[in-house]
Amino acid sequence: MVQATALIDANNFYASCEQSLDPALQGKPVVVLSNNDGCIVARSAEARALGIAMGTPFFQARKDLERLNVVVRSSNYALYADMSQRLMSLLERQTEELEIYSIDEAFARLTRPADGDLSHWARHLRAHIKHNLGLPIAIGLGKSKGQAKLANRLAKGIPDHAGLFDLEHCGDPDRWLETIAIEDVWGIGRRLAHWCRSRGISNARELRDMPTGTLKAKAGIVGWRLQRELQGHACLPLDLAPAPKQETCVSRSFSHPITTLEALQEAIATYVVRAAEKLRRQQQRTAALTIYTRTSPFSPGFYSRAASTRLDLPSNDTGALLEAALPLVPRIFQPHRQLAKAGVLMQHLQDTNHLQHHLLAPCDPEEQQRRERLMTTIDVLNRRYGNGTVAWAACGLSPSWMMRRDRLGRACTTRLSDVPVVQA
DNA sequence: TCTGGGGTCCTAGGACCC
DNA sequence: TCTGGGGTCCTAGGACCC
C-alpha cells in the first residue's frame, strides 16, 4: 500500500470567494484589499493576467486599477471564514485524513490505487468543489508535505496540468523542480533565499541536493528537515487535531494616525474586548497580557513601545482584562507621536477546564459563575444581533480611527440582509 | 495623505541553582 | 587569595507561514 501526501488549496481564495458569490464578477478582474484597504492581498486570475502585483499598496495601484476596470473589494473575513468551513468539510469527506493548514489550504493523506495513479480522484474532487462552492482548487501530490507543496505550485503554474500535479507521475521530477525558484520554496523566506542565491542555489532541485552540513549550519534543524522533505522523507507528520493556541492577538492599523492618550485607550480597550471574545470562543484563559503601539515604519523617527502584566488569576472576563490592560496604556503613550497601529497579545493561555486558584487571591466561586454567565450572555447577544449590540464604555462610541472598509462586497453567507433574492 | 493581521517554531543568551 | 561546570528555565528576537 503506497501512501501519498496531497496539498489541496483554493486558487486566489479571497478573490474567488467574491467571484463565486457575485455572478457579476465572474470572468472579471477582481482584487481584494487588506484591512484598512491597505494592500492588495488577492487577485483573481484575470487581475493577475493584467500584471497587477501582489502586496502593492492600494494608493499606488489605484490609478492602474481604475484604468484597467478592475473591481476592488475590501476584505470580508467573516465571508472567507464561512466559505473555508464549507470547503474543509467537503474535503474531509473526500480524503482519508485531513490537516487544515490555513484558511484555504489542507494537507491530506491518501492511499494510491494499484496503478498508483490518483488523477481520476483529483479530477473528480476539483469538479465536486467547483460544483458545490464555485471555487477553483489546485492539487499537488508527493511523498511528503514539502513535495506536495512544490507539486501544488506546479499544478497552478502549468496550464496543461489542469490544477493537478503529481511528482511521482511526471516523468522527470528534477526537470520540473528546476523550474521552481528558490524564493517560491515553502520554508525559504526572504533571508534564506538571499543566502541561497549568494551560494549559487537558485531553485528547488539545487536546494534538495546542496550539502546538508552547509544548510544545517545556516538554517538549523528547520533547514535540515526541509531538505529531507524535498528528498521525499516525510519528516512533518500530518497534524490532525489542532493544538490549543499558545497566544492570541488582536491588532489593527488606524485609518489615520492618532496622537491622544484617550484615543489610544479606546483602541486598546476595543482590542481587549475582541481578544476576550476570542479567548471565550477558544475556551481559554490568559495568564499574561501585553499591549503595544507603534508609529508607521515608513516614516522617519520610528517609535514602538510595549508593556506587559501578569494576571493574578488567569481570566477571559472582559472586565478583568480591561482592568489589567488600561493602566498600562500611559506607559506606551508619548505625546506628539503619530501612532499608526496598536495591539494586544494574550499570552500563556490555559484551557478553561484547567482550573487554577491563586494562593493570595482566593476567588468567590459564586461571583465567578455570575461573571461567566454575564460574558456568555453578552456573547450570545452580539452574535445574534450583530457585533456592538452590547458594547463596553471604555471603547468609545464610533471612534474616528476605526479601520476603513469602503469597498465591502455583500456578506451573503453570514448576513441575512445580504442573501441574494431570486425573483420568481 | 494613504503601506495588513494573526500565528508558530527555534535559538541564543541571561538568570539562577547546586 | 583562590572564583567551576553543568543543568534548567525563561525571554527576546529572528525567521517563516498564510
Averages of pLDDT over each 10 residues, chain A, 424 residues: 95 96 94 93 94 93 96 93 96 95 95 96 96 96 97 88 91 96 95 94 97 92 94 92 87 91 94 94 91 89 87 91 93 91 91 64 77 91 81 78 77 66 57
Residue ranges, comma separated, of all CATH 3.30.1490.100 domains in chain A are 248-395
Residue span(s) of chain A under CATH 3.30.70.270 come to: 1-170
Residues A307-327 pLDDT 10s: 888 888 889 999 999 999 999
The domain A248-395 is placed in CATH, from the list 3.40.1260.10, 3.30.1490.100, 3.40.640.10, 3.40.50.1820, at 3.30.1490.100
DSSP 8-class letter at A362: -
pLDDT number for residue A89: 96
pLDDT score recorded for residue A214: 92
pLDDT in tens, A142-193: 999 999 999 999 999 887 778 999 999 999 999 999 999 999 999 999 999 9
Q: Which nucleotide is nearest to A103 (CA to C1')?
A: C18
- Sheet of strand A248-258: strand arrangement: A248-258, A339-351, A284-295, A304-315
On chain B, which bases lie within 7 A of the protein's CB atoms?
1-12
User: Which residue do the cell numbers 523566506 mark?
Assistant: A189
Whether A146 contacts A32, CB under 8 Å? no
Domain A183-242 is of which CATH architecture? Orthogonal Bundle (1.10)
Q: What is the pLDDT of residue A355?
A: 60
At residue A297, the pLDDT reads 86
Alpha carbon distance A217, A207 (integer Å): 14
Rounded-to-integer distance, Cα A143 and Cα A145, Å:
7
Residues contacting strand B at CB < 7 A? A 34-36, 38-39, 41, 55, 57, 59, 220-222, 243, 245-253, 256-257, 278, 296, 298-299, 340-341, 343, 403
Answer yes or no: pTM beyond 0.85.
yes
Question: What was the pLDDT predicted at A367?
Answer: 87
CA pair distance A29, A69, nearest whole angstrom: 8
pLDDT value of position A31: 96
CATH class (in words) of the domain with range A1-170? alpha beta
CB A345 within 8 A of CB A249: yes
| A388 DSSP assignment | T
Decide if A339 contacts A257 (C-beta within 8 A): yes
